[in-house]
Amino acid sequence: MDKKLNLTSPAIFIGKQGNGVISFGSGQPDLPPPREAIKGIDIRHDLRYGLIQGCTELRESLANEYPASSAENFVITNGASEALDLIFRAMDNGKVLLPRPYYYSYPPILKYAGMEPVYTDLKQGRIAIEDFRKKIKGCKAVLINSPSNPTGRIEAIDTLKEIEKVTGELGIYVVSDEVYKDIIYERENYIIKGKHVITVNSFSKTYAMCGVRVGYLWSPDQKFVNKIIEMKTHTSMNTNLVGQDMALRAMRSPKSYVAKQLEIWRKRRDIIYEGLKDIGLDLWKPEGAFYVLPKVSQPKKFATKLYTDYKVIVYLGSWFGAPGRVRLSYALDEKEIKEGLNRIKDCLKKI
């Protein structure tokens, strides 16, 4: 084991798996994609450019899942990442309200787009609406993420409705990253709505196909959608056609696929949440996605020792704007989660 570990970003753990290592690091499903998405797929022989906006059939299929929508309101992108990147680049500078802790790519995405983050600190992992109301003024947009990576929390429907109202009145964009919308333990997903709303989503987490890179954005603001299409015409052109074919096939897989996965996630959630509580850690109960963000004293020392002496990977909370915490993804089978918990317990005793 590498005794010197410079914990600068998640990238330092690349290639450090296998060999008995238990990784609570990477945020992606370990479960298999739906068979329908990969089995017997006939790669189309016509591999010429597709529509920049995305394959019509896929967008039509998505339009059935969103209220008062047509295929025109969607752009298929290289994962949710490209959707976010294009959205903020299309805004031409300004401030963006960002709840903290946040997904670790948000601040660089805003920086690259020439936008400035304004932070509102979450309370118990959820938006504090008073602070939100205060800080939203003067912002061009807010970027919300429910269920959240890294907190594992979901926003109350009342909060989401209040956000709709406040931003609608002020004419501020709501960019809603809902990539975990199909992994919610408490209720159905609430789709935030309004002329000023741009929703970002993906096939990655729902269908366990992160590496295929198919995501999308949805907005009733057709002018904004068209601006994104114009930009994408030059910056990456159509999203890969084979991936779009796979995404469409995934959408047509039996609904039971998603339901079954949710039950697996719930069971794992219970194991890790109870396990970490039993160890004595202070953490929020995950309501969606597959992350926990417990408090630990000396997170750097803990994460380093945990990896070097116990072969367990966790991410620093500070990478997500949450110093004093570490992030664990529970995209692991139960046995591994339990073994990981044992090692964490042993490690904490030694610190």
Residues of the shown chain interacting with a second copy in the complex, contacts defined by CB under 8 A:
11, 14, 26, 28-30, 32-33, 37-39, 41, 43-51, 78-79, 81-82, 85, 89, 105, 108-109, 112, 114, 208-214, 231, 233-243, 246
Q: How far is the CB of 327 from a second copy (least distance, A)?
A: 16
Residue among 29 and 317 whose Cβ is closer to a second copy: 29
CA gap 191, 265 in Å, rounded: 22
Residue among 28 and 253 whose Cβ is closer to a second copy: 28
Q: How far is the CB of 203 from a second copy (least distance, A)?
A: 10
Q: How far is the CB of 32 from a second copy (least distance, A)?
A: 6
Residue among 114 and 138 whose Cβ is closer to a second copy: 114
Residue among 193 and 232 whose Cβ is closer to a second copy: 232
Residue among 25 and 275 whose Cβ is closer to a second copy: 25
Q: How far is the CB of 202 from a second copy (least distance, A)?
A: 11
Amino acid at 291: Y
User: Phi and psi for 137 in degrees, rounded to 5?
Assistant: -65, 130
Match 């995950």 to its residue by tokens. 286
Task: Write the burial class of residue 42 (CB in 10 Å: 0-12 exposed, 13-18 middle, 19+ buried).
Answer: exposed
Residues 6 or more apart whose Cβ sits within 8 Å of residue 212: 203, 204, 240, 243, 246, 247
Match 């417990």 to its residue by tokens. 294
Q: How far is the CB of 342 from a second copy (least distance, A)?
A: 25
Please give the C-alpha separations between residue 3 and each of 7, 299, 301, in angstroms, as whole numbers: 12, 16, 12
Percent helix, strand and coil across the chain, each to the nearest 5 = 40, 15, 45
